[in-house]
A = this chain, B = another copy of it.
């Protein structure tokens, strides 16, 4: 079951090419609270700029999304186009334009084909309720190979609330910056400040801890809408249900972010890089990302090559405090490096590296800080996908 009061619609505007749904609308029957986080890339797409203004109000009722075109690097025209779509949607839904958010994903530097989009907007309105969340997830896919939807139930007193998340992305940066987009809906009533705080925490433990190729798109957007239709006592940091809600939101974003890495362009393996014993949290994160983003580590994983030297070199390049002669490395439960030296257990480690999912644990044995990052391997298919995306 889905959170109460959210309706979906999808349509085909042939934005990049015909043959698939590429427009989607998420509508809450009741005005909702909203919180969001946006790309930290200095080059931001028009819809991101627009949403960042809107979200200050903390209010929302609809999100319109298109795939096939990122509406990024499109100048003043791009802003006008985004505003026009918002106006058309607001007009059709008979709500204030300030309650309508917009997201785009796809090719960059290309103006939106407004002549093809305009006539489909009214279709979107008419179709509300005829599509499912999975249809929306499909409509916003670019190089994704599967739609990404997660739902969680939470018991609050005698009522059962729902959190549902839809996301797309096949990397932290995608072909042509095709973006990570994530829409979370809940019928649970949550105080706006609390919604933002829990979202921030959830993202720090999920989308901010994954990497496919170490970059960030111009369009990355996560929005969470809470319409309160469950009728529960509004959740704040002081209410009993706070931790339940917080955990469910965490689980939702974590599972979605895992799906993104699993669907990483060309990836065949999902790898968790765990750092322990770092001097501080900053070092732990830096080390985890240095390993997770190293092309040489990622190609070795792909090639079933228990090449721990590449991990050591990536750590050495990360700028963190480390001592080679203290560092331990394990693949799964197999220790391959102890105090900086080979343990001679390569054949055992080979069994681990051949799996579809495994953990690389690095203990720096300097301090007490730790961090985890999810990554994937780097394959010929990644190159193929990204070399031929546009042409």
Which A residues have a C-beta under 8 Å from some C-beta of B?
41-44, 70, 72-75, 107-110, 173, 175-177, 213-218, 294-296, 299-300, 302-305, 307-310, 312-317, 322, 324-325, 337, 340-342, 378-380, 382-384, 386-391
Contact = CB atoms under 8 A, between A and B. Distances in A.
22 contacts: A42-B315, A42-B316, A42-B317, A43-B315, A43-B316, A44-B316, A73-B340, A109-B309, A173-B313, A215-B296, A215-B313, A215-B314, A299-B382, A299-B383, A300-B387, A300-B390, A302-B387, A303-B388, A303-B391, A304-B391, A305-B387, A307-B390
Contacts of A110: 342
Choose among A42, A72, A177, A342 the residue with the greatest number of B CB atoms under 10 Å from its CB. Answer: A42
Contacts of A294: 215
A380 B44 CA distance: 30
A381 to B, nearest CB: 8
Contacts of A213: 295-296
Contact of A312 (B43, B307, B325): B43
A43 B342 CA distance: 15
A316 B383 contact: no
B391 A309 contact: no
8 nearest A-B residue pairs (beta carbon): A108-B309, A303-B387, A43-B316, A299-B386, A380-B380, A41-B316, A42-B316, A299-B387
A176 B379 CA distance: 17
A380 B109 CA distance: 27
Choose among A44, A299, A305 the residue with the greatest number of B CB atoms under 10 Å from its CB. Answer: A299
Given A41-B313, A215-B317, A324-B43, A341 B73 contact: yes
A314 B299 CA distance: 22
A41 B319 CA distance: 8
A309 B174 CA distance: 11
A150 to B, nearest CB: 27
B108 A312 contact: yes
A351 to B, nearest CB: 14
Nearest to A307: B390
A123 B381 CA distance: 47
Nearest to A290: B215
A108 B305 CA distance: 13
A177 B215 contact: no
Given A73-B340, A74-B341, A380-B380, 5 more contacts: A42-B317, A215-B314, A218-B316, A295-B386, A302-B387
Nearest to A299: B386
A14 to B, nearest CB: 21
